[in-house]
Amino acid sequence: MSKDIKTIAVFTSGGDAPGMNACVRAVVRTARYHKLMIYGIKNGYEGMIKGELEPLFNESVANIIHRGGTILRTARSEEFRTKEGRKKAADQLHAYDIDGVIAIGGNGTFTGANIFYKEHGIPFVGVPGTIDNDLFGTDYTIGFDTAVNTAIEAIDKIRDTADSHNRLFFIEVMGRDAGYIALNSGIGSGAGNILLPETNTTVEELIEVLDKGAKRKKLFNIVIVAEGNKNGNAFDIAKAVNKKFKHYDTRVTNLGHIQRGGSPTCHDRVLASRLGYAAVEGLLGGKENTMVGVVNDKLEYTDLAVAIKKHKPLGDDLIKLSRILSS
């Protein structure tokens, strides 16, 4: 154990993700196991600037492992983007004698932490908490499994009505820059096609696939659309396709923020617990400006600069699989 670490803080930032509370719980209980003082920072970087810190104890995190959202809350902070704002945040951490910070969030959270560490030298360990699953250095991020299962449940229900009415459904899921949710929920739900940010499927190519299905008398079809695909949103694509397939009763559903909510799956609870524990152990072991992840079911640490800059590609095998199974 590092003799320099006596007091730490934890916060959640960016978009909420199911499992963040399980991670906070693991951080607090691991810290208390090591006799550390731990504070929770409310409202992300904005709360750090304003000094919204409160001590956390084992009882503070009782009965939260199953809850979605984040008890520490989250908020965007324009002020933290400025050097003056980060100086205020550093002053607050020094006022509480914080020796290290655990940041639970995604790319934006870690970008801020990386800059903050370079300017003020306070050790940070990041925990990947984002439903997008787009961070390099971990196979899975906290919240991804729950988001995919939420999407699958919704798509299965839509499939029932699509089948009953011979409808063509376009279902938009989250994924502005990464298609992990779309690809996995599309394969898992047996979608007829999946439009991803990483691929260049044109509307014309989509129409060709749908036309093949129509010729073999396919009664209904479901197309999963990642919000960041290059052809526009699900409504735009549906409008373009409907010009060709006027005989289809076309409908559009945007699953939106329901993918972020809800009770986390067992996978996300266990993952969040492992990563929260490892974040504290990492700080005590001298880790700083790093992200903890799980790679091949083993805990690994990756420099924050690498985690936020290096691209995490979709598996070509999964993309090929999705095309074969939807044909």
**What is the set of active-site residues?**
132
Q: Tell me how many helices (H) and strands (E) the chain has.
A: 11, 11
Nearest residue to 102 (alpha-carbon basis) of 17, 16, 13:
13
Nearest residue to 308 (alpha-carbon basis) of 174, 143, 124, 73:
124
- The Cα diameter of the chain in Å comes to 72
With 0-12 / 13-18 / 19 or more C-beta atoms within 10 angstroms meaning exposed / middle / buried, residue 129 is buried
46 φψ region: left (φ > 0), alpha (ψ -120 to 50), beta (else): alpha
Residue 125's DSSP bridge partners are 102, 290
Residue 269 parent element (H or E): helix 266-284
Report the C-alpha gap between 131 and 118 in whole angstroms: 27
Q: 129: helix, coil or strand? A: strand
Residue the block writes with tokens 């805990």: 299
Report the C-alpha gap between 134 and 129 in whole angstroms: 10
Torsion of CA 85, 68, 283, 140, to 10 degrees: -110
